[in-house]
Structure 1
Amino acid sequence: MTARDQWLEKGFAVLAAEGFRAVTIERLCAEMGLSKGSFYHHFGGVPGFEAALLEHFEAVETQRYVDAAEADPTASARQRLDRLRAAVVADGDRAAALEVAVRAWAAQDEAARAALERIDGRRLSYLESLFVELTDGGREARDLARTVYLLLLGSFHVLPPVPVVEVGRLWDRALDTLGELPDVLPSGPA
């Protein structure tokens, strides 16, 4: 792991444990035993670090999961979806705490909000692409993608949080039953 990545991982740890206001240069330097000069060398300042932290969040908490799901190019959409679920569950509660902290940060910071909107868009787009292959596409694929994504995110925000292993079970149950339910509600706008 590079020194830059170590700064970012330490930022993640503090962010997940105590929120974005606790992520300060002084705190990171003290916990890592490094100088402010090293911090400024890698990031140029706090705005550069925050931008890098959000980019790293996207790579670690989005692209890494997509890469895991897409590891076998011959896999079916259901197999890729199952691999995606397995990767999310394997990360456990650390990823959940980080997700909650980034969302709290985005609620108070415009740059974090813009980054999270892009990240949410990428995640939903990927899920929808899998569901397009499993359904007739269109609204059904979009609805299933949103349902699974909201199930995951919502599980992080209830108190006490739903254990990630339980989320995996609920994810499977939702996938097994959602497509089988009759459309009992009138259709609204897509």
Structure 2
Amino acid sequence: MSSRDRWLETGLAVLADEGIKAVTIERLCDDIGLSKGSFYHHFGGAGGYHTALLAYFEERETARYVAAAEAVPAGDARARLDHLKALVAGSDDSAALERAVRAWAAQDGVAREALERIDARRIGYLQQLLVEITGRRAEAADLARIVYLVLLGSYHVLPPVPLKDVERLWTRILATT
């Protein structure tokens, strides 16, 4: 793993565990064992790091799932959706990070803009698959939002909802398609 990726992976771990206020240059240097010079070389400062961290979050928590679903043979949107459900259900480490990014976005405009883009991308991809499956754009838009909100809601209720249960709920919701 490159030193840049180490900075970003460590930042996401600290963010998930303790929130954005804990993601400081000093903390990251201590956790990684690299110098502030390395940090500034890669990111230029805290603002550059935060921007890179949000982009890394988007890649790790959105783009890689879309790419994996798209690797399923073309023309089979149902199989791509099923693969996406299985991938999400198998990623138990996402809930804390998702909550932390949303808390950050509630108090920071740059994080909010990034999260709005990420949410739109996720919902848009679900909608695209559901349009291919149902052929009905309005219904697909509603179903995409419902499916996404079930996932996000599962991250916030106590006790936490196991992702396998979320996958089962999705299957039940989507059985109408």
Identify the TM-score tier after normalising by the shorter chain: over 0.9
Q: Which amino acid aligns with 1:165?
A: K
Match of 2:97 in 1: 98
Match of 1:125 in 2: 124
- 1:20, 1:170 → 2: CA distance? 31
Runs of 4 or more consecutive aligned structure 1 residues displaced over 2 Å after TM superposition: 72-75
What's the Cα RMSD here?
1.0
TM-score (structure 2 length as normaliser): 0.96
Match of 2:62 in 1: 62
- 2:138, 2:28 → 1: CA distance? 46
How big is the shift at 1:90?
Answer: 1.4
Tell me the secondary structure at the aligned position of residue 157 of structure 1. coil
C-alpha spacing 1:75/1:91, structure 2 compared with 1 (3 Å): farther
Match of 2:72 in 1: 72
Output aligned runs, 1:36-185, within 5 Å: 36-74=36-74, 76-92=76-92, 94-176=93-175, 178-179=176-177
Tell me the secondary structure at the aligned position of residue 72 of structure 2. coil
- 1:34, 1:2 → 2: CA distance? 12
Tell me the secondary structure at the aligned position of residue 91 of structure 1. coil
Q: Per-residue displacement from partner, 1:37-89 (whole Å, max 9, x unpaired)?
A: 11111100000000000000111111000011011233511100011011111
- 1:167, 1:10 → 2: CA distance? 28
TM-score (structure 1 length as normaliser): 0.90
- 2:75, 2:160 → 1: CA distance? 32
Tell me the secondary structure at the aligned position of residue 90 of structure 2. helix
- 1:122, 1:73 → 2: CA distance? 21
Q: Per-residue displacement from partner, 1:124-158 (whole Å, max 9, x unpaired)?
A: 11110000011132210101100100000110011
Q: Which amino acid aligns with 1:108?
A: Q
- 1:89, 1:134 → 2: CA distance? 21
How big is the shift at 1:170?
Answer: 1.4
The reply to whether residue 6 of structure 1 matches residue 6 of structure 2 is yes
The reply to whether residue 25 of structure 1 matches residue 18 of structure 2 is no
| Structure 2: unaligned runs, 5 residues or longer | none
Q: Which amino acid aligns with 1:14?
A: V
- 1:58, 1:31 → 2: CA distance? 23
Q: Which amino acid aligns with 1:171?
A: W
Number of equivalences: 177
For the pair shown, which has the larger CA radius of gyration, 1 or 2?
A: 1
Q: Which amino acid aligns with 2:32?
A: M
Q: Which amino acid aligns with 1:154?
A: G
How big is the shift at 1:172?
Answer: 1.3
- 2:98, 2:151 → 1: CA distance? 10
| Structure 1: unaligned runs, 5 residues or longer | 180-190
Q: Per-residue displacement from partner, 1:64-119 (whole Å, max 9, x unpaired)?
A: 00011011233511100011011111111x11111110000000000000000011
